[in-house]
Structure 1
Amino acid sequence: MRLTSRGKFLLVVGVFVAPVVAAYLAYAGWRPSAHSNYGDLLNVTPLQQTAGQTPDGHAFDLGELRGKWVMVRVGPGHCDAACAWQLYLMRQTRIAQGKEQSRIERLWVLTDTAPPDTAVLAAHPGLHVWRPASPAFAAQFPAPQGSATAHIYLIDPLGNLMMRFPSHVDAKGMMKDLRLLLKASQIG
């Protein structure tokens, strides 16, 4: 089949116009429906009242973790089986990020005056354990059933609470979300 000069012209115009039209459609709001986050995106809110201290009494402000993604566990100093599992998942998820793991920190926010178990701390080197100066700090972590201890949260490098993972968290889903955030993020 031979193309006429008009057909050749339309083919050349189509080759140059098609990418422009596709880019416009993508920019104007068309998104593939197959992609979704595993964790629940929260209204991005900067955390307030970030002063506190470590269990050994040293002053520590969460502002020192700025520039890093922070996985957070909120709960009492006594670490039950659910707490141990969350800390384990946070550690393993960070390690699974490979060379990007230095961009991630782990934080256990203590909600009571009980000291954390030394055996648990020994099993999680690099874990930041912190008790806020204000008891109202823990109220900033929303939970569907009202218990923030059932969830792992994520703070972005700017200090904003931005994601909550389900109470019975799937490690692969959490790793995938974190990997995508690290890939897309220009900060932290």
Structure 2
Amino acid sequence: MATAISPPETARPPSAPVRRRGRLQLILIVLLTVGPMVLATVMYQYKFWVPESRSYHGELIGNGQSRAALGVQADEQRWQLLVTAPQACTSDCQQLVYLARQIQIGLGRDASRATHALAVTQPVDPEYATRLQQQYPQLLRYTLDLPAYTRGAEGNGAAQLWIIDPHGNLVLRYNPQVKGKDVLNDLRHLLKLSNIG
């Protein structure tokens, strides 16, 4: 006995409530993906809801300046603690050189990822030069181009300590009164976040 085959049912169009719910879901998905990006852009542009607290202790250099903008020509591929002295390397400068070495030592197993350096416009006095050779054998020394430094450091005539990334970009700047523990914490944080250097 032959059975009758019924023709397949044609798909019925979705009802209005189902269509509305689908559109609502699509709108929600778009808002959840695009909304945070739009909010972040508006917050950045108009500087609202930006946290006042910060996790670093120095002055953040966020304008893309490089070590060359300070008047220092170097090709260092590691993180660097650079002391700059636009005048003679007096007590403030010498204290920062000591601090830079202590910070590098304080990095422990990450010490090989950083160097310490001194850039001055004029030669250091012979007594201090001898002390540098004896006590700071790994200290890199550069000549500081004063006109470039005056422009790049915004006319600051005091000795300063800079953290520079392996690409030569200036990251943080510190004055001579900085506490070594603060710089060490900042550099450890940068090394933890960085895959370079």
Counterpart of 1:90, as a letter, is A
Largest Rg, 1 or 2: 2
- C-alpha distance in 2 between matches for 1:91 and 1:114: 18
Counterpart position of 1:93? 103
CA contact (8 A) 2:82 2:163 kept: yes
Aligned pair count reads 153
* Deviation sequence 1:113-136 (CA, Å, 0-9, x none): 45552113321120001114x443
Structure 1 segment 22-171 matched on structure 2, within 5 A:
35-42=54-61, 43-48=63-68, 61-63=73-75, 65=76, 67-75=77-85, 78-114=88-124, 117-132=129-144, 134-139=145-150, 141-142=152-153, 146-149=156-159, 151-171=160-180
C-alpha change, 1:39 and 1:185, in structure 2 (3 Å) is same
Structure 1 gaps of 5+ residues are 1-20, 53-60
Q: Deviations over 1:46-103 (max 9, x none)?
A: 2337998xxxxxxxx502x1x2111111126854322221111101100111111111
106 and 137 in structure 1: CA distance in 2 versus 1, 3 angstrom threshold:
farther
Q: 2-side partners of 1:113 and 1:122: how far apart?
A: 17
Q: Which amino acid aligns with 2:106?
A: A
Q: Deviation at 1:139? A: 2.6
Secondary structure in structure 2 of the residue aligned to 1:44: coil
Percent of aligned pairs with the same residue?
27
Q: What TM-score does the superposition give when structure 1 sets the normalisation length? A: 0.67
Give the aligned partner of residue 177 of structure 1. Answer: 186
Counterpart contact for 1:90–1:106, Cα < 8 Å: yes
Instruction: Write 1 or 2 for the structure with the bigger share of strand.
Output: 1
Gap regions ≥5 residues in structure 2: 1-31, 41-48
Structure 2 length as normaliser, TM-score?
Answer: 0.64
1:79 to 1:51, Cα distance in 2 relative to 1, 3 A: closer
Counterparts of 2:114 and 2:185, CA distance in 1:
14
The amino acid across from 2:58 in the alignment is G
For 2:172, the aligned partner's letter is: M
